[in-house]
Structure 1
Amino acid sequence: MTERKVKAIGLISGGLDSLLAAKVLQDQNIDVLGISFATPFWDCEMAVRAATEAGIPIRVVDISHEHLEIVKNPRYGYGSNMNPCIDCHGLMLRVAGRIMEEEGADFIFTGEVLGQRPMSQRRDALRSVEKLSRYEGIILRPLSAKLLPETEPEKKGLVDREKLLAIRGRSRKEQMKLAETYGLKTYATPAGGCLLTKEGFSRKLKKLLEIMPDAEVRHIEMIKSGRLCVIGDRAILFVGRNAADNKRLDTLTSSPEEIRLKVLGIPGPRGILCGGYDNDRIELAASIVAAFSDADPDDMVTVELTKEEGIETVTVKPIDRRRIDTFLVR
């Protein structure tokens, strides 16, 4: 009988470290499957392209709903913005563990480098991530393995520890040399593309969750597809910035409690009013949407309102643009 190949499931972000981790294991004739996780907060396109060019099989797994719940209430808190890195990594490893079991694989691996990121890649943080994952002892970090406790796959001889690495810190010199060795040219920049680390996006998300703690994944997409205005302490208005935003917003309204707004007869944005509102808030929302249209500031504008009970119109004067900053979250 032919001996079964060792198989590992790895987190592939599209960054250089995760690609190198996979290549180090492939050098040991280990069968690797990369997993890239889809959420509203980052794009998997680079991960898929980089892994494919590097000869690493990859699968995209959507964890949007699970991830949003963790963003709302992280056990280990946030980084400098709304990024719950430890909880996020724990979730991804937990899901990777489920895939490992389904695939009959032997262990999980990541591209984490000891000491590279101050919040999520300290020794204690790595241990916390393992506890959250529920797969303690079978998570291998090939780039820093020689600096970390021996894992079960190493103890069992599934991986040769001597062929693993001992990289630490924020310098990228060793990784860049390895990239040349493996011929890796396509990968994401070290800064990453997670929106939760961005100050402006985090301000909008924080405000959204303050007013709408039960916000859904589609509301996160609305933040990405338009301006966010806070109307009082209970209502949120999303306003498109261009034709692409308008088209996207039109696809995101599904709740009967939300109102769609559109200026009639004049080029302008779409609006979506969410949360708690009354007639005064609806009229204010219409005047804000009108202000972002091509209407003359002194003209009265007709705004179409699409509600659960049907379509109606309201005629408003565009709000003074100087007042918009009192509602707009930047």
Structure 2
Amino acid sequence: MNKRVALGLFSGGLDSILACRLVAAQGIRVIGLQFVTPFFNEELPARQKEYAGEVYSRYGLEVQLVDMSSDYMHLLDKPVYGFGKHFNPCIDCKIMMLSKARELLPRYGASFLVSGEVIGQRPMSQRRDALRVIERDAGCDGLLLRPLCAQLLPPTRPEIEGIVDRNQLYAFSGRGRKQQRQLAEQLGVTDYPAPAGGCMLTDPNLARRFRQYYSGVFPCGEQRSAEDIRLLTFGRQFKLDKDVWFILGRDERENNRLASLRGIDDWLVSMTSRPGPLGLVRHAQSMLARSAAEREMIPRLAGLVVRFGKKGCDGRESAEVVFDKGDEQELGIFSPVTEEEVNSWRV
């Protein structure tokens, strides 16, 4: 283990950038770990190499992606410290990230961890008592250095052992960002994102959908999946029956995304003769096909597609709709459903 290597929790936000840069400025190699779940950073694995190059070019920092999707899906069932304002388990989330980072210390030959937390900046997870709980439950006593507020906290092992000079660390606190912006200017960090909630679990509309998913409103097949979560983040969502979850794209981009997220168990529904939304019936092959409800649901699903599509040039509202069931297709002429029906099924 090299005492001159540290692993940093890297979110891509200003605080994590500054924390890693402060430690790196003392001649320590800092490897940033950026965690990936279906709720944040889920787009990064597709461009991992490009993203790592961008981070190094802008901030001079190495970054590695760590996927904890599966464990995170289970965490949301019952987080020990509960949820924040919406569906965000901030304390349990940070404990999980630190636990995984601690487990990765030997892989990278690192001796301690770095985090950009600031006392009092976030009401749930960055209170002084919460910081202590997080460190304790993650098994990181003495290993976790918080450079931005280190002088307000007891010395950590790297400070005590002289690996890090405590005098070059800071005593930031509170929700203001003025001190961070000033420090960024001193360090030559100019290209950084504005403060924002990058976690979808803090978005009130999406959080409501996620909570409904976890409470059983949406059918999830044999088990919950990251693919289900991705489908919840866009489009118009409908629940037509206990086992019929239907998503409609709202524009061409969402139609394309729906098509790309289609699973082998899903059906696609679209009009053949004029523009309109693409619909995806989640888990249709296992939950709807050849069931007593199938014949009842077909005109409802088609009617939703027609209802949100463009009218024909001849003024007709009905349209030909195709059901792509994977191994077969079904065609028919269908009329739009009523506004009352739309509202009764919308989630």
CA contact (8 A) 1:91 1:132 kept: no
2:163 match: secondary structure = coil
> Which residues of 2 match residues 1-330 of structure 1 at below 5 A?
6-43=4-41, 44=44, 49-50=54-55, 52-209=57-214, 210-211=216-217, 212=219, 214-256=223-265, 258-274=266-282, 276-277=287-288, 278-279=293-294, 280-295=296-311, 299-307=317-325, 310-321=328-339, 323-329=341-347
3-state SS, counterpart of residue 344 of structure 2: coil
Q: What is the Cα deviation at residue 200 of structure 1? A: 1.0
Give the secondary structure class of the aligned counterpart of 1:251.
helix
Distance 1:168 1:272 in 2: 48
Distance in 2 separating the partners of 1:322 and 1:272: 21
The Cα shift of 1:83 comes to 1.1
C-alpha displacement of 1:288: 1.1
Can you give the 5+ residue segments of structure 2 that lack an aligned partner in the other structure?
Answer: none
Change (3 A) 1:135 1:255: farther
CA distance in 2, matches of 1:215, 1:283: 28
Q: 1:239 to 1:132 in 2, by over 3 A?
A: farther
For residues 308 and 186 of structure 2, the distance between their equivalents in structure 1, rounded to whole angstroms, comes to 53
Structure-2 separation of matches of 1:30 and 1:136: 20
CA distance in 2, matches of 1:134, 1:176: 32
> Contact (CA 8 Å) 1:19, 1:51: kept in 2 or not?
no
In the TM superposition, residue 255 of structure 1 has moved relative to its aligned partner by 4.0
CA RMSD in angstroms comes to 2.5
Query: Taking structure 1 as reference, are residues 55 and 113 closer, same or farther at Cα in structure 2, changes over 3 Å only?
Result: same
Alpha-carbon separation, structure 2, partners of 1:319 and 1:100: 57
Which sections of structure 1, spanning at least 5 residues, go unmatched? none
Instruction: Give the stretch that moved more between structures: 9-18 or 131-140.
Output: 131-140
One-letter amino acid matched to 2:87? M
**SS where residue 326 of structure 1 aligns?**
helix
SS of 2:246's equivalent in the other structure is strand
CA distance in 2: counterparts of 1:195 and 1:97, whole angstroms: 25
d(CA) in 2 for partners of 1:132 and 1:265? 59
Deviations along 1:173-199, whole A, 9 cap, x unmatched? 211110110111122222232111111
CA distance in 2: counterparts of 1:174 and 1:232, whole angstroms: 53
Superposed structure 1 runs of 4+ greater than 4 Å apart = 44-48
SS state of the match for residue 330, structure 2? strand
SS in 2 for 1:237: strand
Distance 1:69 1:131 in 2: 21
Larger deviation, residues 114-123 vs 309-318: 309-318
For the 8 Å contact 1:47–1:187, the answer to whether it is kept is no
The one-letter code matched in structure 1 to 2:230 is E
Whole-Å separation in 1 of the counterparts to 2:8 and 2:101:
7
Residues 228 and 86 of structure 1: CA distance in aligned 2, closer, same or farther (over 3 Å): same
Give the conservation status (yes or no) of the 8 Å contact 1:241–1:269.
Answer: yes
Aligned residues: 326
How far is 1:18 from its partner?
Answer: 0.7
Question: How far does residue 138 in structure 1 lie from its aligned partner after superposition?
Answer: 0.8
SS at match of 2:76: helix
Secondary structure of the 2:320 match is strand
Change (3 A) 1:286 1:127: farther
Give 1:171 shift.
1.6
Give the AA of the match of 1:270.
L
Paired residue type of 2:92 = D
For 1:129 and 1:255, the matched residues in 2 are separated by: 40
